[in-house]
């Protein structure tokens, strides 16, 4: 059996929108802290906006491509993972920057599941707009994904097309399609 936490994790689109507190937020990012990374560089940084902070939350939503804001607007928190492109020790390119940031983001997702919430990552965002909103230097930093986190709600709250996706069976490749001996 795969670990129970892995069985429980998925990426829902229906969220209650309820508020989460500082302790919960801290635990999500604490999980990212412990992700493995090349040379222990920890190239990730995270920016977040709480749903309760309407103005900032709206700015995050505006960076998402169509199809995402319609459900992500009910997450409790929107997080943006940002990857640093170079090693801090010697300034050389770190070719694992997106890999390791994605790995840290998976930790956040699993921690959310362990806390009774779920997380849904999104690559569907406007890169230039996000870089501008966060005031990043694109030579040094690259947003990797948005992460919506919150308590799951029922599929009935979603518009028809999204409800269909929410209730569709989850699919995966067979192990023999991606594992070679």
Which positions lie near ligand FMN, rule CB under 6 A? 10-11, 68, 120-124, 145, 170
Q: How far is the CB of 161 from ligand FMN (least distance, A)?
A: 12
Q: Which of helix, strand or coil describes residue 144? A: strand
CB of 65 to ligand FMN, least distance (A): 7
Residue closer to ligand FMN, measured from CB, 48 or 87: 48
- 170 or 173, CB closer to ligand FMN? 170
When CB distances to ligand FMN are compared, the closest residue is 124
- Token duo for residue 104: 């840290």
Q: How many CB atoms lie within 10 A of CB 54?
A: 10
Cβ-contact 180, 172 below 8 angstroms: no
Do 60 and 132 touch, CB atoms closer than 8 A? Answer: no
Give whichever of 85 and 87 is closer to ligand FMN, judged by the CB atom: 85
Q: How far is the CB of 11 from ligand FMN (least distance, A)?
A: 3
Our CB check for ligand FMN shows the closer of 12 and 136 to be 12
Closer of 42 and 145 to ligand FMN (Cβ)? 145
Nearest to 76 by CA among 23, 150, 138, 26: 150
Q: How many CB atoms lie within 10 A of CB 171?
A: 5
Cβ of residue 121: shortest distance to ligand FMN, in angstroms? 4
Q: How does DSSP assign 41-81, residue by residue?
A: ---EEEEEEETTSHHHHHHHHHTBPTTSHHHHTTSSEEEEE
Closest CB 8 distance from ligand FMN, rounded Å: 11
């Amino acid at each position: 059996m795969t670990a129970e936490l892995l069985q429980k994790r998925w990426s829902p689109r229906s969220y209650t929108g309820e508020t989460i507190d500082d302790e919960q937020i801290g635990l999500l990012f604490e999980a990212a802290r412990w992700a493995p990374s090349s040379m222990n560089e920890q190239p990730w940084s995270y920016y977040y906006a709480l749903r309760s902070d309407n103005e900032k939350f709206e700015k995050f939503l505006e960076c998402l491509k169509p199809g995402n804001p319609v459900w992500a607007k009910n997450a409790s928190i929107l997080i943006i993972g940002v990857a640093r492109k170079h090693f801090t020790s010697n300034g050389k390119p770190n070719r694992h920057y997106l890999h390791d940031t994605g790995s840290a983001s998976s930790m956040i997702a699993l921690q959310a599941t362990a806390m009774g919430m779920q997380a849904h990552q999104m690559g569907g965002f406007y890169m230039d707009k996000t870089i501008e909103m966060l005031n990043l230097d694109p030579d040094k930093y690259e947003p990797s994904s948005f992460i919506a986190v919150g308590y799951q709600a029922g599929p009935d709250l979603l518009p028809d097309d999204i409800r269909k996706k929410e209730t569709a069976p989850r699919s995966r490749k067979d192990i023999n399609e991606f594992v070679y001996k």
